[in-house]
Amino acid sequence: MKRKNKTIRALFIFLLGYSTALAAQSQNTVFSSPDELRQWVNVIDDSKPVSIQTLQDQTGSYIRISPATNVYIGRPSSDQIENNTSSLPALMTPATQNAIKIRLRHTTAFKQLCGFWLHQTTFFDGEHYQQVPFFDPQPLPGDGLWHELTFSLTDSPLFDAQSDVIVVNFGFFDPGFQNLTASNRLLDQTSSTAYIDLAQITFFSVPQTLSQPLISGFTPARARYRSPVKVAGSGFVQPAGHNAVFFGTKQATVLSGDASSLTVQAESDGPISVRVPGGATATSTASFTMLGPPRNLVKVSGDLQSGAPGAVLQAIVVKVADTDGNGLPAETITFRISSGAGSLSNATATTDDSGSASTVLTLPANPGTVQVEVQHPELHSTIVFSAVATAH
């Protein structure tokens, strides 16, 4: 939606606007006449001419947006939306209406309508919007026939009394579209003659089932950025992506899950919270620790040992640490005999929760010196342990 993404085709945005007084008069607010629809239509991408016509067929009057490109329905400018969403008035308040039904048709090759919405606590980081909830894709055949699609905002964990809606955006995207990066959008695939006909927008209320989540724990307690973390508990909703998970104040990507567990990507230090549709939130009692990338491979024990030929020595132990000295779990370490003979109990090992990994050296049958080289795939330096098999 940002100005620099002006190459996006077949995107139109519905900015939903009405006053609190109007919403209080009815649970349904309907825009169905061309005049009502056109008063909200503006053009975001002013580099491409967009025609908005009033037309009529046997079913009634409607507006045609052609070509199907970056337009929106609403009054605030795109600059206002990008610069300060919190200053914009509420256009849909959860207390009155929480779903949208649109009646439309199109003649492009796209088969689904996807979308997202912005609320007053959305913020823009200079590249894209954060904390943006998505609608589930809805089928929209490009058959030129009228179709009614309904999208419930209550599917999102970011819809509650503090999430007054300021923008609702619908567009044609890749079926896997779940973020705001241009790489997931269907670029340059819309004909200049493609159009979208819009006959009605209805705002209304649907019953909302509220879940009460609970977090019983999470594993691991420490991990690197974007590593998988499993959050255990109860009351999580399905599909898993309808739960909003935060590490401190940073929202995480939900990878998978069910009612009792969610697997997410680590984002930051702090307690982990899960927010479900309706706004109920559970927060962990413990805090997650974000670990930095590996910086050092450290000798812990097992260097400079000696024994009789064939003796089994004490374990060779190393630690992988980040810049702050924190041990890094789940790191792969390789061991190899670089000089001399003998054997190792294992050539690779995975670091434990303290960041440590080990192997055991069995000395050769004949006297001599043995060197064991230890490496981490992300560190260029190696460390070497020495041992001696002494004569009888």
CATH of the domain at 240: 2.60.40.10
Residue 354 domain-assigned (yes or no): yes
Write down the residue that tokens 């003979």 correspond to: 341
Distance between CA atoms of 310 and 370, rounded to whole angstroms? 12
What pLDDT shows up at residue 346?
98
pLDDT < 70: residue spans in the chain: 1-27, 40-49, 67-86, 89-91, 107-111, 114, 125-129, 161-162, 169-193, 392
Residue 156 shares a structural domain with residue 218:
no
- Predicted confidence at residue 7, as pLDDT, reads 32
**Nearest-angstrom CA–CA distance, 93 and 98:** 8
**Domain match, 89 and 183 both:** yes
110 and 15 within one domain: yes
Q: What is the CATH number of the domain that holds 80?
A: 2.60.120.260
Residues 7 and 156 reside in one and the same domain: yes
At residue 21, the pLDDT reads 35
- Both 29 and 132 in one domain: the answer is yes
Neighbour-count burial of 146, counting CB atoms closer than 10 A to its CB (0-12 exposed, 13-18 middle, 19+ buried): middle
What are 16-61's pLDDT values in tens digits?
A: 333 333 333 446 888 889 988 877 665 444 456 677 889 999 889 9
381's tokens: 């330096």
Answer whether 337's CB lies under 8 Å from 316's CB: no
Instruction: Verify that 151 and 268 share a domain, yes or no.
Output: no
Contact 101, 113 (CB under 8 A): no
CA-closest candidate to residue 68, choices 188, 181, 199, 150: 188
Instruction: Tell me the H-state helices in the chain.
Output: 20-25, 34-38, 78-83
Q: Do residue 11 and residue 137 come from a single domain?
A: yes
Residue at a domain's end among 237, 263, 291? 291
Q: Which residue is associated with the tokens 């930051």?
A: 268
Domain end marker among 270, 291, 312: 291
pLDDT for residue 360: 98
pLDDT, residue 27, reads 65
Q: Indicate if 71 and 117 belong to the same structural domain.
A: yes
- Domain boundary residue, one of 238, 270, 291: 291
Domain that holds residue 118: 3-204
Residue 306 lies in a domain: yes
What confidence score (pLDDT) does residue 185 get?
A: 42
- pLDDT tens by residue, 289-312: 999 999 999 999 999 999 999 999
Residue 209 lies in a domain: no
Assess contact for 169 and 14: CB atoms under 8 A. Answer: yes
| pLDDT score recorded for residue 122 | 77
- CA angle at 313 for the pair 309 and 315, rounded to the nearest 5°: 155
Q: 106 with 254, same domain?
A: no
